[in-house]
Amino acid sequence: MVAGIVAWATGGALWTMSRAPRDGVHASPGPLAANTATVTLIIIDVLFAVFVVLQVAYLFGGRDTLDAAGITYSAYARRGFFELIAVVALVGGLLLGLDLVVRGRGRHYVAAAVALLLLTGAVLVSAYYRLDLYQRAYGWSELRFYAFAAIAFLAIALAIGVWSVLRGRMAFIATPLAAAAVAVGICLNLIGPSGYIARANLVRIIDPTGLPDDAQRSLDVWSLWQLGDGAMPDIVARYDAVPQSDRTRLFDVVHQYTRSRDLSRVPDWRGWNLDRERARAALAEWERVRR
C-alpha cells in the first residue's frame, strides 16, 4: 500500500513536470543579463580547464600516482568519487540557477554551459578510472558495485544536461533525471548485484590472468556469505573450479548456509522471492550431489 501511494504521487508529479513548454520557451524573462551569465560561465570554464590540465597526472596517474602520493587504492578511489559528487552538485546547481534567472540565452551562453558539462565529464572519467583500479586490485563488493552504478547514472545525467542546455529545457531537467534514475534502478535489479559480485569474484580467483601484480588473490569467503541468497547459485555452480586452497573455506560457507535454510519447506506465496527460490534450488542440488 505504501509503495502504491508513493508510486501514484510520484507518477502524478512526473506527469505534471513533463508538461513543460516547448524547446527554447521560458515562462518569463529573468533579471540576469545574458552577457553577465555568459562571462561568468566562461571564467568558470577557464578555471576548470586549468585545473584539469594541471591535475591530469593526478586524475589519471593510476599506479604512478599511488606510489608518488603514498596513498592506498581505497583512498585514491574515494577521493575521486567524492570529488565527482561535489563537482556534479556544484555544476548542476550553477546551471540550473543561471537558467532560472538569465534573461535570454545566446549561442555563447549555450557553448559555455556545454563546455562546463564536458569538463565535468573529465572528472567523471577520472572517478571511473580510479574506482576501476581499486576493483581490479581487490575485487567487487556491494559498495563498489553501487559506486559504479552511481557513476553510470551521473554519466547519463551529464548527457541529459547537455541535451537540456542545447534545447533550452534546463529548468525542466528533473523529469528526465527521475526517469534515468528509475531506468538505472531497473537495470540493477535485472543484473542482480549479489549474483554478479559473487560470480565476478569467483572468476577472478579461478582465472587470475590480467590482474595487477599487487592484486589480492585470495578469496574473501566472508564477503560471499554476506551477499545472501542471490550469490548462492553462482557459488554452487563454480565451487569445483575454485582452487583447492580456497575450496575448503568455501565449502564451510555453503555448508553453514545450507544448515541455516530449511530446504524442504515450501514458502507461502505471499513471501515468495526469486533469489531465495534460486538459492533453495541450488542448495538442494548441492545436497543431492554431495551425498
Could you please report the per-residue DSSP string of 140-182? --HHHHHHHHHHHHHHHHHHHHHHHHHHT-GGGTHHHHHHHHH
Flag whether 51 is in a domain: yes
Residues ≥6 apart with Cβ < 8 Å to 243: 205, 206
Q: Are residues 159 and 101 in the same domain?
A: yes
Flag whether 273 is in a domain: yes
Which of 115, 138, 172 is the last residue before a domain boundary? Answer: 172
Q: What is the pLDDT along the chain (291 residues), one digit of tens a residue?
A: 888 888 888 888 777 766 655 554 554 556 778 888 899 999 999 998 988 887 787 777 777 777 777 788 888 888 888 888 999 999 999 998 888 888 777 889 999 999 999 999 998 999 999 899 899 889 999 999 999 999 999 999 999 999 999 988 887 888 889 889 989 999 999 999 999 999 999 999 898 888 888 888 888 888 888 888 899 999 988 888 888 888 888 888 887 877 777 666 777 778 788 888 888 888 888 877 766
Flag whether 123 is in a domain: yes
Q: Are residues 198 and 273 in the same domain?
A: yes
**What length does the chain have?**
291
pTM: 0.83
Q: Are residues 64 and 127 in the same domain?
A: yes
Q: Are residues 127 and 222 in the same domain?
A: no
Flag whether 180 is in a domain: no
Angle in degrees, 0-180, between the axes of helices 142-167 and 73-101, rounded to the nearest 10: 20
Residue 282: give the domain boundaries: 194-290
Flag whether 77 is in a domain: yes
**pLDDT score recorded for residue 256:** 80
Say if CB 86 and CB 127 are below 8 A apart.
no
Q: Are residues 158 and 202 in the same domain?
A: no
Alpha-carbon distances of 17 from 30, 169, 172, 173, 191, rounded to whole Å: 20, 11, 7, 9, 30
**pLDDT score recorded for residue 264:** 66
**pLDDT score recorded for residue 3:** 84
**pLDDT score recorded for residue 291:** 63
**pLDDT score recorded for residue 35:** 85
Q: Are residues 131 and 261 in the same domain?
A: no
**pLDDT score recorded for residue 149:** 96
Flag whether 48 is in a domain: yes
Give me 214's grid cell: 599487487
Structural domains counted in the chain = 2
Flag whether 177 is in a domain: no
Q: Are residues 132 and 221 in the same domain?
A: no
b/e code 37-53 from CB counts within 10 Å (16+ = b) = bbebbbebbeebeeeee
Flag whether 181 is in a domain: no
Q: Are residues 166 and 199 in the same domain?
A: no
Q: What is the helix, strand, coil percentage profile of the chain, to 5?
A: 80, 0, 20
Q: Are residues 15 and 123 in the same domain?
A: yes
Q: Are residues 203 and 162 in the same domain?
A: no
